[in-house]
Chain A
Amino acid sequence: MKFLYKVLLNIIVMSATESDCKNKLTAQKKGEVFHHMQEVGCCDMCAHLYSGHTSYAFYEKVHKEHIQHGTEGKKLKTNPCVSCLGLLHSPFKENITDRIISEIKQSDNDYDSFNLALTLPISYQLRAHSLAYYVRKHYPKIAHTFGGKVFPWMTVKNIFKVTTAPIIAKSVGRTLNPNSELTINVKLTYSNDGLESSKLLELCPSVFGFRQRKCAELLFSKKTLYHAFHRGLNIELRNFSSYPPNVPNHPLVFSQVNFNQSPMYCAGRYNKYSRTLPHARWIMNGKRMLNTSVQELFSKDVQALFKAQDYTFSSSGREDVDVRMLGNGRPFSLELINPMRTKVPQKEIDDLMERLNKEHATNIKLNDMQIISKDDVKYLKKGEQSETKIYEALCVSKKPLTDELLSNLTSCVPLVIEQKTPVRDLSRRANMVRYKTIYSMNITPVPHSSTNQTYFCVKLKTQSGTYVKEFVTGDFGRTTPSLRSLLNDPDIDVLALDVLNVDLDWPPKKKQILRSREKTQTNDVQQNTQQRALLLYTSDMKFDWYKLLIQAKLSVGSNASNGNFIRALHLSRVISEVSNKSEDVTEVRRLNRNKFLVVCRTAKCANTIIQSKKVQEEFNAFIPTVYMQRSAVIRVLMSTRNLCFPEACHLVPPLHVRMRLQTKNSFSVLENMNEEMPSHVNSQDYPRLRKNVTHSRTIDKYIPPPLSTRTTKRKTVFSSSSV
């Protein structure tokens, strides 16, 4: 982020200096163009735009002058501007802004800040293109400031955002923030749009003719226009209408406004007490089986509370129709799409929860509902894989239970079972084998009156994602082992099943998590060195290769990228020094800005690197932290698939490695830095340097990015200049 900010600042500075020198040279010319464009029919702002002004500050200044003087330049034309169709000059400008203001004021949305996005008609694009050519033809030198491209870098939209958007923000009472969660899309239409753009179809059928067949409604878009402009059709296109474009009779008209709020998340836990209530809508053969579902019972009400457009319900796992969810409930989160109310107090949520609990007392119960951030939702999905669940199943059998069998059962946990996708789920899931762990198992007989049947309760603690019913019945031998095979009784069946507990700390305690995050961030580097430096590869761990992860300090050097390339090289040299035998180190790789991966062939070599002070001291920038990545991978494999054997090693293929540095620019950096580098390393250790590498980007002339990607960049530039 910091880096990006710097780049952006650079761009601003660059463009400012650039335009300054150009200003000196062509100040007169600019004036000339300005007047010429006014005669063609441009408003003040557009005339400035086409005479090559590129800084936002300039337009803000002009705008202020306009306000102070009360008029816009010399004359007030009755017709809208040729270029902006009245977006930037009165009296048409006021009409549009007034409508936007009133729409925002009327809306239900209560977010504090907003970002304004404009949708302009196609005619505007065509006109701007045509005018740019016009300027270029008459004043080739001015056109140069457009950055080599025909289209000027600044656009009418940007000028509108600089000049008018703050006024809107002020009168609406909200702040203008380009990164706001609320985006207000304003659509502007132009009555002659269809007529003017239909000429495009005749001019370049190669672009639009194809689309006409495919999608008639979205025939002309910014993207297709961009295609057309860059297909060498410019010569024809620029004559699409009168050249320069004729003076329009109608201004831009406000057509509609869309509020686009980024989604909010509501978290909680639910209990389910009914055995005839599905988790989600249950549709079989196109027919709805049951009227409601867990999510439908309360999602609509929550959606109404937030005045959201739509919702998506997600929970950590799901249970069958005939399974109750007891205990502290199953964690869920509700994504509210485009909510209008963003500041719902906790009390209202509690009230709603109470009301729903009373209403659906027989079916569900909600707990701990609250608003959470987007990051916490990831935690829910992450927990889905790691959590454990406790089940209780009422089973029936025709054989009596003996103590011997029971003791056998309790002794075989933890048990890893192999489950093929059960037959009942085969229609919606891929057929594959899943390995699940059963951590504990308890059987208690249930007293009963019948003589030929035995009833018992099985309490299971399993990994999430285990099909419990199939574990009991075996599912035609597709789950092995199963309770049927363990008890050697082919008649065991499940009568009823309950989920007693879902072991996930949810909803997350916000403040605690935040605090712990901050702590880990600040102390991360130091703690890591102290704790992880002690981790050594012991002799009983034998792998094909050993990986070390070396982490550098965050803030070193000014030119971040180059600094890292040099450091990667330097690191490899230091390491080869430390580890006497240089062939033991097979790879030094730069993973990202401050992480490096070192791969060794022997444990001894890895340990010497871990222990050596040289790596830490000689190169102050480095604080090595060590991951035993290889062993971690295998440990994970062991835990999930019960592979407690040496064969597990073969699952991870050995890496055939050679000395290599991944970034090609690093070599070119080296060429320039010869003196500073230690010279006692053989040059043969490293790959040969390619000569005459053309890598450096000279910044004599700034070329703006292409049209399609430009808008986003400009937004950010806009933010830094306006703040």
Chain B
Amino acid sequence: MKEKDVPSSKLISKNKLGDTMDITEECPQQDSSDTTMDQCIDRDANIAVESKSLLDQSYPDFVEKYFSCINCNEVRGPEDDYRVLVHSNRVCLVTLADSHKLKHPDKVPIKVDFQISDKINREDNPMTGKGKRGAQQLCNNSILCYVTCQDGSRVPIHAAVGGKLLEINQSLVQNPTAVKETYIAIVLPSIPTFESFEIPLKNEDGFFDVDCDS
């Protein structure tokens, strides 16, 4: 009952008065110690109440929360830099690094072409099943697509990580300018490749976080 006097109870009454009433009823009768009481309220509480500790805090970005970044610089030639988002389940998203030449403000992409050669088109990837069989195999310098810019230049985008091509971002065909922001391809690297990544521990500037107890 103590909880009700805390300022957050305003919130309860605003949101869901009915639910809070239920909470008190559902408390087990036998244990009336304060700890179980808290637990009980914690258990069935409204989501806003339950996670009130999360409110008014800075929260990590969606990308930061689930992905770690590795930078692949100068894959083929200068200014050919990529930022690869690695999920803990080995799936990688290839995006352009800020230092990539396409990120220049004067480069305006007008067309994205997935037809790499006469035979290879990244858009038709005959992958089936959860085993990802038949997926196109990529090396780290395989070309994912060609981006044609307004000034007439044709820039190839490389895969940066080798592995199976799970998906190519097809929305880029409609919206070529999105190349600068969103992912270009989803790649599943082989286990040895994945283990060779030097994944920085949630730190973007390339330094490892080291625990210093002293």
Contacts and interface: CB of A to CB of B under 8 A. Distances in A.
Contacts of A446: 11, 15, 48, 55
Interface string A438-467: 000000101111100101010000000000
B55 A427 contact: no
B88 interface: yes
Interface centre among B47, B130, B171 (most CB of A within 10 A): B47
Contact of A431 (B28, B90, B166): B166
A427 B90 CA distance: 7
A423 B62 contact: no
B197 interface: no
A361 B59 contact: no
Contacts of A436: none
B47 A496 contact: yes
A182 to B, nearest CB: 38
B214 interface: no
A428 B182 contact: no
A159 to B, nearest CB: 51
A427 B39 CA distance: 36
B90 to A, nearest CB: 6
A362 interface: yes
B62 A447 contact: no
Interface in B1-36: 10-11, 14-15, 28, 36
A430 interface: yes
Interface string B31-68: 00000100100111001101100111001011000100
Interface string A383-400: 000000000111010000
Interface centre among B48, B56, B167 (most CB of A within 10 A): B48
Contact of A455 (B48, B167, B171): B48
A431 B186 CA distance: 11
Contacts of B11: 446-447
Contacts of A431: 127, 132, 166-167
A393 B50 CA distance: 12
B146 interface: no
B15 A426 contact: no
Contacts of B43: 273, 362
Contacts of B91: 423-424, 426-427
Interface of B is mostly: mixed
B89 A424 contact: yes
B145 interface: no
B128 interface: yes
Contact of B54 (A427, A429, A495): A495
Contact of B130 (A273, A430, A477): A430
B76 interface: no
Contacts of A324: 50
A496 B66 contact: no
Contacts of A655: none
A274 to B, nearest CB: 9
A496 B129 CA distance: 31
B128 A423 contact: no
B15 A495 contact: no
Contacts of B66: 424
A455 B48 CA distance: 9
A424 B87 contact: yes
B55 A426 contact: no
A417 to B, nearest CB: 15
Nearest to A393: B47
A447 B10 contact: yes
Nearest to A429: B130
A455 B55 contact: yes
Interface string B76-104: 00000000000111110100000000000
A427 B131 CA distance: 9
A248 to B, nearest CB: 53
B188 interface: yes
A495 B87 contact: no
A393 B14 CA distance: 17
Contacts of B50: 324, 496, 498
A173 B26 CA distance: 48
Contacts of A326: 44
A273 B183 CA distance: 36
Contacts of A455: 48, 55
A473 interface: yes
A476 B91 CA distance: 14
B38 to A, nearest CB: 10
A332 B55 CA distance: 33
Contacts of B171: 477
A447 B49 CA distance: 11
A448 B88 CA distance: 33
Interface string A248-268: 000000000000000000000
A356 to B, nearest CB: 14
Interface string A546-577: 00000000000000000000000000000000
Which 5 pairs show the lowest CB-CB distances between chains A and B? A427-B89, A496-B51, A273-B43, A430-B130, A450-B56
10 contacts: A393-B47, A423-B87, A426-B89, A427-B91, A429-B130, A430-B129, A431-B127, A453-B56, A457-B48, A493-B59
Interface of B: 10-11, 14-15, 28, 36, 39, 42-44, 47-48, 50-51, 54-56, 59, 61-62, 66, 87-91, 93, 127-130, 132, 166-167, 169, 171, 182-183, 186, 188
Given A392-B47, A428-B130, A430-B130, 17 more contacts: A284-B89, A361-B28, A394-B47, A424-B87, A426-B89, A426-B166, A426-B186, A427-B91, A430-B128, A430-B129, A431-B166, A444-B15, A446-B48, A447-B10, A447-B14, A477-B182, A498-B50
